Each structure stands twice: as structure tokens, then as C-alpha cells.
Structure 1
Amino acid sequence: MTAVALLGLGEVGSVLAEDLAGVRLSAWDVAFADETSAASRNARRLGLPSTSDAVTAVRDTDLVISAVTAANDLVAARSAAPGLPAGCWYVDLNSAAPGQKQAAAEVVEAAGGRYVEAAVMSPITPQRLAAPMLLGGPHASAFAEFARPLGFTGLEVYADVVGPASATKLCRSVMIKGVEALLAESLLTAREWGVEGQVLASLSNLLPSDDWEKLAAYLFSRSLEHGARRAEELREAAVTVAGAGIEPVMAEAIARRQDWAAAHRPADLGQDLLPLLDAIRAQLPGTATKGTPE
């Protein structure tokens, strides 16, 4: 039986734990120290054994999947490295900058593991194990053959070096998370003036969508729910942009707006767009509606 260790038991790690059938699972998350954390609750719900540290979690495994926050990508590799069995796959799903991934690869390879860069190119749900993933590094092709029978059907061998897959992911993130940030700023202001309907209708002139109100509610709710994690990702994107010789004006601004969204998350994220906007605006000073134009 294939033994799999999950580093990180948040949204992505939980999906993997639920869908990886016929394997022996272990997990480690720094949040396990807090029994009330989402990671601890996920471990109890999934019936995963509680491990005391990353080294214990990865010992005697065939595959380690790192699904931590972007800022902890290299930290996770370093924490697991002393326990990696020789030849163990180490798959790095994190939205970290290419430089951080390359440093993580050096740590894993030095410990005797086989590092594989992976960039998840869509939300993990609803496709779950079938979500599209770009693989990079010298072991990418061999890992794809190993992983497809486990259910990873969206894999694409993308590069034989580490870096291009994460660069692709983070350039995409500037666009996708940027749209979330733009919608938040635009629609909260439009709601103040009572013109949100007209603004949304006008978007289809250039950006066709069957239902901009539904799409905006989805994107906005994702930002509110995962803003802190998205902000970390955009700071990694800013590093990547700066590394290309471009001032990361937009990536840094998006990170700020994503942090802001996380700080203004309402209790109910399942609302339609207008109640969601109103729930956010209710937290802000001086937001009395100015009314629609004549």
C-alpha cells in the first residue's frame, strides 16, 4: 500500500485526504498545536493519526505532498527533510515564487528525496484530484506515471527544470486574484452609490459572462474566505515580478486588498452578492447610501 504524508491540512490537504483511496495517510500541520484550529478539526474528521512533527509524518512514506501556505514553502521542506526516506517523492503544491521552490528542491534532493514542482492551475474544487496541475523538475515525468493511478488525472508534464510551473501559476494569480480585488473595490463603492447593477451590466461589454452578479459573488466570497492565504501568494507573485525586472505595483496592491478582505470577512459567506456587499459595508465607517443617479 502506498504511504502518503500530507504537509498542511487546510482546504487542499483535506481534499487530497478525502480523495486518495487505497493509501495509508499521515499528516502534519503547524496548526495541530491548536486543537481548535481548522487543521486539527480536519484531522479528527478524517480520522488521521496525530503526528508530533513533520519528520514523524513523513517517515516510511512513498510520497510527501506539501500543501502549506506560500510563505512556509521552504520552511516545510526543511522541517520534513530529516525524515525523508531515500527516493521518496516530494510534491510541492504551494503557490511560492520560483526561487523559493528551487531552494526547497535543493533541500529535498540533498536529503535523498525526489522533488517535483506542481502548480495547481484552478481552484482545487470542484475538480479535486482532477484539477489541472503543471509539473516541473527532472522527476516530473516519472512522477506523473506514478501518480495517475492514485487519481491525479489532471497532470501535465510542463518543464524538466524547477521554476517555470510556479512562474506560470503566479503570473496567472496576478490576473485572477487581481480581478477579485478589483471587483471588491469597484462594487463596494458602486453599492454606496446604488449603481452596482449598472456597473455589472457594463462589464459584459468587454468581459462576457452569463451572470456577472453570480460570478462576482463567487470571486468576492473566495477573497473574503481565503484572503490571508491569497495575500501570501501575491507577495510571492510580487517577488517573481520583481525578479523579472518589473516593479510589482499591482501584485503588492492586490496583496493589500486580499489582506483587507480577510479582515472584513462576514459570518455568512453563502449570501448573494448584494447582501454580501452590505454585510461588508456595515463594518465600514461613513457608508450611508448616496442613492442612484437620476
Structure 2
Amino acid sequence: MIDPRQWQVGLLGYGEVGRILAEDLRAQGVRVSCHDVKLEHAGHAAGLHGHAALHGVQLCATPGGLAAASDVLISAVTASQAVPAAAACAAQIRPGAFYLDLNSASPGAKQRAAHLVDAAGGRYVEGAVMTSVPPYRSRVPLLLGGLHAAELLEPLNALGFAARVASERLGVASATKMCRSVMIKGLEAMVIESFTAARHHGVEDAVIASLAETFPGIDWERQAAYFFQRVIEHGRRRSEEMLEAAETVREAGLEAWSASGTAERQAWVAAVADAGLFGARDAPGHARSSDWRVEADRLLDHLRRLHDTHGSPHR
């Protein structure tokens, strides 16, 4: 087996996850190339070029070009782009190259992506990232799935990942991730909704005291601050993930009421953030306060302004 440190790794997506993986792989001397659609937008391209230059990452103009140059492709795009990204790479993927799909997509979407990659001669492996990446970086708990998962496991872990094989059957790893997301992303949305409403009514301290009594193992102040910040920063991506989680629920024959509602709340916070309520999108520390009350007050002020302008609150 070739030393995985001799691989040419292609990263499809150069957002938060892509940049972290690029940094960790480059620290081991692994050759890394990347493509991101934001390279086509002047407002974002400069930051990507700067990061790439700092860490020795080669940027590719097209996903096909990235695929043609890579021994292993790691796809970390937004959930809605999981299948289009696979299609864009499949036409030029190297025969036998691994395609590790880390995107938060439904089992059905992963199966469609796998068909595209495998039919083109690649080796598709589904990946399910099981918690937030930044605290763990490349050692974030990772489930692998598919016929080629076992082949990729040892070399991937040799590069510093913390992967294990969930199943040879495609969809098992993704279903695990998506069903977890119904809970985790749903809790984010519920905390933002509950705590902001409680702040409006002046009962937030009583609500938190009651939650602490019922769930004594959770620091609700700290958890709320974290949830507000993550959704403000990544609400758009989270919303897309929850649309995939909703599809996962529907694949089981259930109406996805909770997952769909979570997607709407996450998208709403993202839209408010895009409007500049929490500061400039590219500013360091986009959620500018570690106090969830400050962020909730900004949401409430925003709603009051909408009410004054339009006569009814925007939900």
C-alpha cells in the first residue's frame, strides 16, 4: 500500500472544514489541492488565496481539474451540493481514486453520488462527521460507509483522522448522522426560539432555572451562547443540512415536521445575519457577543423594527 502521505489530496470545498483539513494535512507534508465555487467571487477569493498561500495549498479552477489531479478527493461542500459536486468530479476522476463524501446529506443523496463516482471508475466512500469539527479538527469522530470504506480506513487514520467503518451498506453512516442532527440542530433551533421568546417576556432566568433542575448536567447559559454563535455563523449550512435530515425522515415514511421546522428557523437566523444584524459576515468572530442575551436582544430589536414598518412581526 502506498504511503498515504504521498497522496495528492483534493479538497472540494474550502470553507471552515476544508481549511482545517488542509492545515492538518499540510502539517504532515501531504500535497493538497482545493477547489471552491467562491474562487469565482472577488469578495471571497482573496481570503481563500491568502490561506492557500500561507499553507502551501494549490488552488484549482474547476472541480474536474481537481479530480484529475487527486489520488483521494474529500468533498466538504454544502449539503445541497453533495450530488452536483460528485457529478462535477466524476467525469475526470482518476481510475481507482477514492472519493470521500463528508457532506451532511441523506442516505438517498449519498447513494446517488456513489453511483456517479463508481460508474466513472472511482471508489466512493460515504463519510458522516459526528460532531462539530473545530474542537477536534481532523480527529473529529467520523463514520465511513460503502464497499470501499474498509480500504480507506487504515490510510485515512494514518493521516490523523479518527474514522471507523459503520457498514459496507451505503446510507447507514449518513442515516446515523442525519437522525442525530434532527436532535442536535433541533435543539439549537429550540434554544434560540425559546430563549429569545423568554427574553421578550422577561422570564429567561426562570426558564433556565427550570431547565437546570430538569437537566442538571447541562450548563444552559454556556450552551445557549454556543448555539447562538454557531447558528449565526453557519445557519445557512445548517439549514441545508436539516433539509437533508428532513428527507432522511421522509425516507422512513414519516412527515418531517421537526426537521423541517428546524431548517426554517436556521434559515431565518442566517437571513438576519446576512442582513448585517450581527456584523459583517467576514469579520472575525461573526457572532460578536459571547452572551446569548445580547444576540437575542438584537433579534428582538430586529422584529420590533419590522413590526413598526410592516405592522406584523417577521417570524
Q: Any unmatched runs of 5+ in structure 2?
A: 1-5, 280-285, 308-315
- Matched ranges for 1:24-43 at <5 A: 24-37=31-44, 41-43=47-49
Letter in 1 for 2:287: L
Tell me what 1:230 maps to. Answer: 238
Match of 1:269 among 284, 287, 295: 287
Letter in 1 for 2:131: S
Deviation at 1:69, TM superposition (A): 0.5
Match of 1:10 among 7, 15, 32: 15
Deviations along 1:216-258, whole A, 9 cap, x unmatched? 1101211111111111111111111111011111111110000
In the alignment, structure 1 residue 135 sits paired with structure 2 residue 141:
no
In the alignment, structure 1 residue 259 sits paired with structure 2 residue 267:
yes
- Matched ranges for 1:3-82 at <5 A: 3-20=8-25, 21-37=28-44, 41-47=47-53, 48-82=57-91
- Whole-Å Cα distance in 2 between the matches of residues 50 and 42 of structure 1? 9
What TM-score, normalized by structure 2, do the two folds share?
Answer: 0.87
- Matched ranges for 1:197-212 at <5 A: 197-212=205-220
- Whole-Å Cα distance in 2 between the matches of residues 43 and 220 of structure 1? 30
- Matched ranges for 1:34-183 at <5 A: 34-37=41-44, 41-47=47-53, 48-152=57-161, 154-183=162-191
Secondary structure, counterpart of 2:213 in structure 1: coil
Letter in 2 for 1:9: Y
- Whole-Å Cα distance in 2 between the matches of residues 43 and 280 of structure 1? 34
Aligned 8 A contact 1:31 1:40 in 2: no
- Whole-Å Cα distance in 1 between the matches of residues 267 and 74 of structure 2? 26
Deviation at 1:42, TM superposition (A): 2.8
Aligned 8 A contact 2:52 2:59 in 1: no
Q: Any unmatched runs of 5+ in structure 1?
A: 289-294
Deviation at 1:205, TM superposition (A): 2.2
Letter in 1 for 2:272: H
Tell me what 2:304 maps to. Answer: 285
Letter in 1 for 2:92: G
Deviation at 1:136, TM superposition (A): 0.3
Distance 1:286 1:209, change over 3 A: farther
- Whole-Å Cα distance in 1 between the matches of residues 70 and 126 of structure 2? 18
- Whole-Å Cα distance in 2 between the matches of residues 238 and 98 of structure 1? 11
CA RMSD across the alignment: 1.6
Secondary structure, counterpart of 1:65 in structure 2: strand
Letter in 1 for 2:233: E
Deviation at 1:169, TM superposition (A): 0.4
- Whole-Å Cα distance in 2 between the matches of residues 94 and 40 of structure 1? 25
- Whole-Å Cα distance in 2 between the matches of residues 176 and 32 of structure 1? 31
More helix by share: 2
Letter in 1 for 2:253: G
Letter in 2 for 1:46: A
Distance 1:97 1:33, change over 3 A: same
Tell me what 2:250 maps to. Answer: 242
Tell me what 1:292 maps to. Answer: none
Deviations along 1:164-203, whole A, 9 cap, x unmatched? 1001101000100100111111111111121111111111
Aligned 8 A contact 1:115 1:137 in 2: yes
Deviations along 1:81-127, whole A, 9 cap, x unmatched? 12211111100000001111001101111111111000000000110
- The sequence identity of aligned pairs, in percent, is 45
- Whole-Å Cα distance in 2 between the matches of residues 100 and 287 of structure 1? 38
Deviation at 1:50, TM superposition (A): 3.0
Letter in 1 for 2:155: F
Secondary structure, counterpart of 1:247 in structure 2: coil
Secondary structure, counterpart of 1:22 in structure 2: coil
Number of equivalenced pairs: 286
